[in-house]
């Protein structure tokens, strides 16, 4: 299946090896800084920030293990008689395709979470999204690792093995079965990511262009559950400010579209072309490696362009010192019962008549029925004029949440 004279192919690869190695180092440093910057800017972890840091961590692993391995071995081959062996080639193929699939699925998960938060804000805040994000990441890694490890344990072309005579890692060199499964997973994930972010953008533009009354329908009140001593027991954060919502939606949209056009679609074209012609070309290797490196470098640039996640050196240093000294104490006392989120609690309230208080931020007339089907138009609230807040007896919390989540 080797389509060209080996020396010609080696010359093309050798000409780009040093550039790949340098760009990989830059990408590792930039993505590491992005993780530290996001951590420094956010007091508490939210699902979206967790997924962004997971994506940046995947880029670090992709550049540090398979890409660096490929570059180092290629450079050694230029100056010595060193060659790929079966173990190294299998390790490179398994790690490269594992991290490629993890990257693709992580981008899709980002677009899905953003669509969920924008389109169904009440359901998103009432769901245990932190735990779901963790389970999503675990499932992504498990599926990607299992599929990408199969070629190393025997699921490959046994007539012309991919680890003989150089390490040929384009999917057609590995085998038809693996190539078709990889193509379907990447194609389905890219399509789902585009659909989800399209829905999020459409919903965002619709709310922005609509009347003020229509905007209030998609505003979620801030709810705090406190005990008699004024300690917060649990909370549901309210809607994001319009500027913040637009900023995050544009950021996720940029990440999705950059990934799709720099990695998703090129890998689909390369995989489909190699399977169709049953051979690989040197431009396929160049395309796959350069696209993988380019999209890993662009992610830190997008995060740096977003004010929400851009931190200076002082903030990052203080965050690192706080982590090392264990002074970064999470003040959130919410219970993971499906109602938890970041909410700044300003001052305690002293109530002697109720064991628990539900505090609802009253900044608009919310119409929950437009958000979640089956939710009634309003609830009996007792207005406190002095601080313009609404309080509910804690015993009503269960019924409210049940009504909000009921179909």
> Model confidence over 13-65: pLDDT tens digits?
888 999 999 999 999 999 999 998 888 887 777 888 899 999 999 999 999 99
Q: 232-258: buried (b, 16+ CB within 10 Å) or exposed (e) per residue?
A: bbbbbbbbbeeeebebbbebbbbbbbb
Q: Would you place residue 3 in the very low, low, confident or very high pLDDT band (cuts 50, 70, 90)? A: very low
Min mean pLDDT across 124-138, 156-170, 179-193, 294-308 is at 156-170
pLDDT for res 269 = 92
354 pLDDT exceeds 90?
Answer: no
- One DSSP character per residue, 283-332 reads HHHHHHHHHHHHHHHHHHHHHHHSGGG---HHHHHHHHHHHHTT------
**Looking at the DSSP assignment, which residues form a beta bridge with residue 234?**
225
In terms of Cα–Cα distance, which of 88, 97, 90 is closest to 69? 88
Cβ neighbourhood burial of 123 (10 Å; 0-12, 13-18, 19+): middle
Look-up of token digits 């329908």: 217
Q: Please state whether the predicted TM-score (pTM) of the whole model is above 0.95.
A: no
Alpha carbon distance 345, 215 (integer Å): 25
The count of C-alpha atoms lying within 13 angstroms of the C-alpha of 79, restricted to the half-sphere facing its C-beta, is 5
pLDDT for res 122 = 75
CA distances for 23 relative to 43, 67, 258, 292, 301, angstroms: 32, 10, 18, 11, 14
pLDDT in tens, 214-236: 544 445 555 555 555 556 555 55
For residue 2, what is the enclosing H or E element? none
Alpha carbon distance 129, 141 (integer Å): 18
**Looking at the DSSP assignment, which residues form a beta bridge with residue 235?**
224
Q: Would you place residue 367 in the very low, low, confident or very high pLDDT band (cuts 50, 70, 90)? A: very low
Taking residues 262-269, report their average pLDDT. Answer: 90
Cα first-last separation, the chain: 56
pLDDT for res 160 = 66
Q: Would you place residue 349 in the very low, low, confident or very high pLDDT band (cuts 50, 70, 90)? A: very low
Taking residues 271-282, report their average pLDDT. Answer: 86
In terms of Cα–Cα distance, which of 194, 171, 190 is closest to 272? 171
Taking residues 134-146, report their average pLDDT. Answer: 93
Q: Would you place residue 342 in the very low, low, confident or very high pLDDT band (cuts 50, 70, 90)? A: very low
In terms of Cα–Cα distance, which of 357, 363, 352, 366 is closest to 388? 363
Sign of CA dihedral 127, 129, 135, 141: positive
CA distances for 212 relative to 218, 244, 250, 326, 365, angstroms: 10, 18, 22, 45, 11
Alpha carbon distance 315, 96 (integer Å): 34
> Quick one: tokens of 353?
């008549």
- Contact yes or no for 328/322 (Cβ under 8 A): yes
Alpha carbon distance 359, 272 (integer Å): 56
**Looking at the DSSP assignment, which residues form a beta bridge with residue 389?**
361, 384
For residue 115, what is the enclosing H or E element? helix 86-119
115 pLDDT exceeds 70?
Answer: yes
Give 4-327+390-403's CATH code, choosing from 1.20.1070.10, 1.10.150.120, 3.30.70.1730, 3.20.20.100. 1.20.1070.10
């Amino acid at each position: 299946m080797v389509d060209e004279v080996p020396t010609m192919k080696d010359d093309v690869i050798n000409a780009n090896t040093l550039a790949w190695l340098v760009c990989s180092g830059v990408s590792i440093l930039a993505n590491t800084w992005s993780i530290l910057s996001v951590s420094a800017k956010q007091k508490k972890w939210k699902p979206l920030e967790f997924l962004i840091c997971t994506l940046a961590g995947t880029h670090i692993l992709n550049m540090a293990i398979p890409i660096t391995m490929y570059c180092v071995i290629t450079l050694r081959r230029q100056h010595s008689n060193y060659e790929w062996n079966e173990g190294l080639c299998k390790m490179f193929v398994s790690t490269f395709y594992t991290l490629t699939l993890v990257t693709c699925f992580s981008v899709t998960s980002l677009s899905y979470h953003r669509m969920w938060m924008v389109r169904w804000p009440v359901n998103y805040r009432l769901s245990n999204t932190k735990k779901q994000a963790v389970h999503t990441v675990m499932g992504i890694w498990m599926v990607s690792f299992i599929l990408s490890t199969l070629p190393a344990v025997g699921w490959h072309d046994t007539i012309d093995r991919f680890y003989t005579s150089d390490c040929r890692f384009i999917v057609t060199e590995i085998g038809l079965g693996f190539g078709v499964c990889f193509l379907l997973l990447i194609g389905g994930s890219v399509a789902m990511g585009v659909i989800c972010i399209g829905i999020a953008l459409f919903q965002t533009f619709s709310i922005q262009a609509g009347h003020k009354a229509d905007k209030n329908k998609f505003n979620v009140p801030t709810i705090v559950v406190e005990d008699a001593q004024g300690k917060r027991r649990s909370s549901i954060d309210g809607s994001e400010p319009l500027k913040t919502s637009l900023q995050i939606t544009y950021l996720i949209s940029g990440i999705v579209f950059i990934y799709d056009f720099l990695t998703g679609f090129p890998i689909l074209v390369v995989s489909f072309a190699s399977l169709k012609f049953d051979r690989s070309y040197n431009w396929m290797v160049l395309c796959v490696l350069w696209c993988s490196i380019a999209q890993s470098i662009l992610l830190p640039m997008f995060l740096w362009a977003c004010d929400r996640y851009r931190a200076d050196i002082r903030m990052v240093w203080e965050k690192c010192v706080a982590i090392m000294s264990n002074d970064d104490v999470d003040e959130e006392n919410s219970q993971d019962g499906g109602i938890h989120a970041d909410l700044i609690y300003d001052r305690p309230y002293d109530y002697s008549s109720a064991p628990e208080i539900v505090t609802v931020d009253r900044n608009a007339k919310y119409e929950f029925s437009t958000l979640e089907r089956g939710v009634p138009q309003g609830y009996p609230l007792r207005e406190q004029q002095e601080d313009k807040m609404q309080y509910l007896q804690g015993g009503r919390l269960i019924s409210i949440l049940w009504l909000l989540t009921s179909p």
